[in-house]
């Protein structure tokens, strides 16, 4: 394990973070939440905002997929996503809903360099709520070529987090 260069929990907390916050808008699956924590740990994401009925740690079903990432990644809970978005806007974040919507920007055309950004991911069935979409600066859409045009929310989270990292490490 030493060869992998893994950070301890303390090292992780002290490390410079990627200026990205992931906002979960009423995600229902604890396994999805845990998986998003694990991916956020992998990319040193600043924080995860858990909103509405999104489950919160500690819980064994979150831990099953998070594998300890709930101890490293900072997180906050908000009663509703609108409150979280308003706080982020006041702090100067650019808010992107990850959603298939009219006028959305294809992910490969997103320019996330040097921006304090927040990606909002929606409920597994309903997506990002319309009230939240209205507050976002833009929607980004992951290009898809198959018949379903639907990704699991934790997979979508991983894709958009990587794109943000990719834009910022190749400066």
Tens-digit pLDDT string for the chain (171 aa): 456 677 777 877 777 778 999 999 999 999 999 999 999 999 999 999 999 999 999 999 999 999 988 999 999 999 999 999 999 999 999 999 999 999 999 999 988 776 799 999 999 999 999 999 999 999 999 999 999 888 999 999 999 999 999 887 754
Total tally of structural domains belonging to the chain? 1
- Dist. CA 48–CA 106, nearest whole Å: 23
CATH number of the domain where residue 118 is located: 3.40.1280.10
Going from the C-alpha of 28 to that of each of 13, 58, 85, 163, the distances in angstroms are: 27, 15, 19, 25
pLDDT for residue 17? 79
Q: Which domain holds residue 67?
A: 2-169
């Amino acid at each position: 394990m030493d060869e992998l260069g893994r950070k301890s929990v303390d090292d992780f907390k002290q490390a410079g973070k990627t200026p990205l916050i992931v906002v979960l808008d009423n995600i229902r699956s604890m396994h999805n939440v845990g998986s998003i924590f694990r991916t956020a740990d992998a990319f040193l994401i600043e924080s995860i905002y858990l909103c509405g009925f999104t489950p919160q740690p500690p819980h064994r079903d979150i831990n099953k997929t998070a594998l300890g990432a709930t101890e490293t990644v900072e997180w906050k809970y908000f009663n509703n996503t609108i409150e979280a978005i308003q706080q982020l806007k006041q702090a100067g974040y650019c808010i992107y809903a990850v959603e298939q919507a009219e006028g959305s920007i294809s992910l490969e055309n997103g320019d996330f360099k040097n921006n304090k950004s927040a990606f909002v991911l929606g409920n597994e069935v309903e997506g990002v709520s319309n009230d939240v979409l209205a507050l976002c600066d833009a929607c980004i859409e992951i290009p898809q070529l198959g018949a379903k045009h639907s990704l699991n929310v934790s997979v979508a989270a991983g894709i958009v987090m990587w794109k943000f990292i990719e834009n910022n490490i190749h400066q």
